[in-house]
A and B are shown apart, each in its own frame.
Chain A
Amino acid sequence: MSPGMSSMQRVLTTLGHQEPDRVPLFLLVTMHGARELGVPLREYFHDPALIAEGQLRLRARYGDDCLYGFLYAPLEVEARGGDVVWVDDGPANSGEPILRRPEDIRDLQPLRVADAAPLGRALTAIELMKERVADEAPIVGVVMSPFSLPVMQMGFDAYIELMYERPELFERLMQVNIESCVDWANAQLAAGATAICYFDPVSASDITPPERYEQWGGAVARQTLARIQGPTATHFASGRCLPIVPEVAETGTAVVGVSAHEELGRLKAACAGRLSVLGNLNGIEMCRWTPEEARAAVRAAIAAAGPGGGFILSDNHGEIPLQVADETLQEIVAATREYGRYPLTEASGG
């Protein structure tokens, strides 16, 4: 145990499946940065300086263990000319699919990251964060997995039908998306991101069958992650992954982001020594948690997954809703410091 670790040391220690000074906390807040600075969400996410400043201020306020380079889910679709739908109280959503017909996939070409202005905003924000934080804390970059991005590219129903009924077009779409994803991830690493969070909710076992993971999402992940020049964390964004943990470990990822619908202790046991676990506070319930409920949830999560390291406390979705109050976030932070100190004891939740 090393008291007074930096966030980077704390995270690297736990990812090495050792116990750091305390359980690391990734408070994955994005939109709260706009509130912190008093600007509308749309304005905030169009200004890299605001994004970087928002992240830095949030970390100063909460003292958690990372900066988050995630802007909004449809960023990569916007980079291809897709519409983004903005609301003033929640995350931006993707508009009408850009691939109107499956046949449009034949003409699709890999995205040129250098030419995509929306991605440039995220890269600049990461550069600005890196200038300020250096190596004291990790900066987490984000990509949508090539396997999950088509939900926004063509619509969920059309994509499911493509997977099952048009294997040749599915394969073509995956190859185009893999090229784009690799370039996008490596550009973020070059800009200063420490690691890449690979969001892959469609691979979750409640979205596509576990027995298909090897053939679909797992195959795509193996091809993609092998070419990303830095560490990766695979996040299922509230989806279940316990049935596919052994296969996920084979993709080369270091961390798995898990669902509030799964038992954290069982997941930790399944991942032991192979994958670190990130999760799994329920972000939706968090909106109405009392301080006591927040503390109880933190304590239970640490007790289930904290022992031995290999665990980062976080929410279960990869983005905390804007409706979660500052007081609740403060309570999560305080409870993590109280219950997450190593060595864990029964009193502290371990």
Chain B
Amino acid sequence: MTNVEAGVMDQELRSFESALLALDRQAVEARLDRLLERTDRIAAVEGLVIPILESVGERWERGELALSQVYMCGRLCERAVDRILPPADPRRSDQPPTAIAVLEDHHLLGKRMVYSALRARGFEVKDYGRRTVASLTEAVETDAIEVLMVSVLMLPSALRVRDLRQRLDELPRPPHLIVGGAPFLFDDELAAAVGADAVGRNSADGISLLAAYCDAAGRDGASGGSGGNGASGGSEPAPHTGRQI
């Protein structure tokens, strides 16, 4: 990319983010459409939507944006991407079977935000809604889920991940387990303590962690992978590391 092209792209990113934070859906779609005149759909998603979702997540981490803004940005991005990359698009294929669920709690915002971000990134994800340990384990086995993302709100639910981990480890192919939610934000050691393989602190982390898994497992991931081309050779991610990014 030349300096001129990089400058143009930077300008595009800034105006796209402004439109998102202003919750201006028409402007969001118009800026995406304008980019589509110069590039293909996948490049548009990777060049515009993903960097903005990552930026929004980082700004929330730094206290510059509020959760409500992150949520609304994710919803707008999800709708915009669905317009140009429908759920059945074959380019969403060759992804590890992935599912997301809320463990026990009835409040689904965190899961919804991660789900929106993953879909905006082009990942196809099964939404299991609210589950108990038993029903979630059963669904994972039935659907041969390879990556399981679990969101919790309350501390007892976070501690229940330990039971979930034990049940999952009894399956023939235990899934890679990524956790997130408020209790994990207040204790850096909690995810490892309950046996998670990774913890996400915001919805953009969900994208990074899933993309990293795809890289490590030699899967293409969504729309060609973020920084990974599926050529890394099929090594399985190390389980139970409680890795935090």
Binding site for B on A (CB under 8 A): 85, 87, 89-91, 93-96, 151, 155-157, 160-161, 163-164, 205-210, 212, 238, 240, 260-261, 282-285, 287-288, 321, 323
Contacts and interface: CB of A to CB of B under 8 A. Distances in A.
A210 B71 CA distance: 16
A285 B155 CA distance: 11
A209 B182 CA distance: 18
Q: Name the 10 nearest CB pairs between A and B, nearest first.
A: A90-B156, A156-B109, A284-B186, A284-B187, A209-B66, A160-B68, A207-B67, A89-B156, A208-B68, A285-B187
B102 to A, nearest CB: 11
A100 to B, nearest CB: 14
B72 interface: yes
Interface string B145-157: 0000000011111
Interface residues of B, number: 32
Contacts of B193: 288
A315 to B, nearest CB: 11
A300 B75 CA distance: 41
Interface string B60-91: 10010111110110010000000000000000
B66 A208 contact: yes
A240 B159 CA distance: 25
Nearest to B106: A95
Contacts of B187: 282, 284-285, 287-288
Interface string B173-207: 00000000011011101100100000000000000
Contact of B186 (A206, A240, A282): A282
A157 B23 contact: no
Q: Is the interface of B mostly helix, strand, loop or mixed?
A: helix
Interface string B91-129: 000000000000011111100100000000000000000
A205 B190 CA distance: 24
Nearest to B21: A209
A287 B193 CA distance: 12
Given A87-B104, A90-B154, A207-B66, 6 more contacts: A90-B155, A156-B108, A160-B109, A207-B67, A212-B66, A284-B186
A323 B154 CA distance: 12
A205 B183 CA distance: 18
B24 to A, nearest CB: 12
B109 A240 contact: no
Contacts of A323: 155, 159
B65 A209 contact: yes
A152 to B, nearest CB: 8
Given A157-B108, A238-B186, A284-B186, A87 B63 contact: no
B106 A209 contact: no
B108 A155 contact: yes
Contact of B68 (A89, A155, A209): A209
A237 to B, nearest CB: 10
Q: Which of B66, B67, B69, B155: most chain A Cβ within 10 A?
A: B66
A91 B107 contact: no
Contacts of B68: 160, 163-164, 207-209
Contacts of B60: 206
Given A164-B72, A285-B186, A87 B66 contact: no
Nearest to A317: B186
A157 B151 CA distance: 15
A261 to B, nearest CB: 8
B81 to A, nearest CB: 18
10 contacts: A89-B156, A95-B106, A205-B66, A206-B60, A207-B68, A210-B66, A240-B63, A283-B186, A288-B187, A288-B189
Contact of A94 (B69, B106, B185): B106
Contact of B106 (A96, A206, A210, A288): A96
Nearest to B193: A288
A44 B221 CA distance: 50
Contact of A206 (B63, B71, B156, B159): B63
